[in-house]
Amino acid sequence: MLLTDNDREVGCIIELPGWGDFSTGDRGIIPIFTPNDGLFRIAHNRITEVHENRMFFDFDHPDDPKVLPLEGVPGPGDSGGPAVAQLSRQAVIIGISSGGFYPDKRGFLARKRIGCYGWKECFVRVSVMRPWIDSIIGVGSI
């Protein structure tokens, strides 16, 4: 099921399934030491903001009071994967992985290794793309 209600994403706890690279938030991804092992994993996070066709969430440090028990973000190899939320007891795809960055104090990109705490992830909002999706697959065809 796809989300159609534009104002319900902020605050949603999402599941992020994928087979991409993995790391710990304190060291980030080091490709020669953390090769993609092909294992399926699920991380959780919480949508913190939405802007037009994008939604964002942060990789919080374990000491942060907002951190979730299985908090994480997608890694290389997870691109195009879903953000799944439980809405009205139903699994709903609310976003598609698009990329991420480290914001510096001025809001610009800071240079750091991918996968460390502080990473801000960006997903495409399915709710905004729903009319286009329906036009491609045909409304009611699934």
What pLDDT digit, counting tens, does each position of 26-66 carry? 877 766 655 667 788 899 999 999 988 899 999 999 999 99
Give dist(CA 139, CA 41) in Å, integer.
32
User: Would the pLDDT of 133 be above 60?
Assistant: yes
Question: What pLDDT shows up at residue 59?
Answer: 92
Question: What pLDDT shows up at residue 69?
Answer: 93
Side-chain half-sphere exposure of 91, counting CA atoms within 13 A: 6
Q: What is the mean pLDDT of residues 73-102?
A: 88
Instruction: Identify the CA nearest to 74 among candidates 21, 30, 14.
Output: 21
Instruction: Identify the CA nearest to 91 among candidates 10, 18, 35, 13.
Output: 13
What pLDDT digit, counting tens, does each position of 2-18 carry? 454 555 788 999 999 98
Question: What pLDDT shows up at residue 56?
Answer: 94
How far are the Cα atoms of 1, 49, 53, 94, 108 from residue 90, in angstroms, in the given order?
8, 22, 23, 12, 37
User: Would the pLDDT of 105 be above 80?
Assistant: no
Question: What pLDDT shows up at residue 115?
Answer: 76
List of domains in the chain = 13-137 (2.40.10.10)
User: What burial class does residue 65 get, using C-beta atoms within 10 Å of its C-beta: 0-12 exposed, 13-18 middle, 19+ buried?
Assistant: exposed
Give dist(CA 51, CA 30) in Å, integer.
31
Question: What pLDDT shows up at residue 57?
Answer: 94
Contact 14, 94 (CB under 8 A): yes
User: Would the pLDDT of 97 be above 90?
Assistant: yes
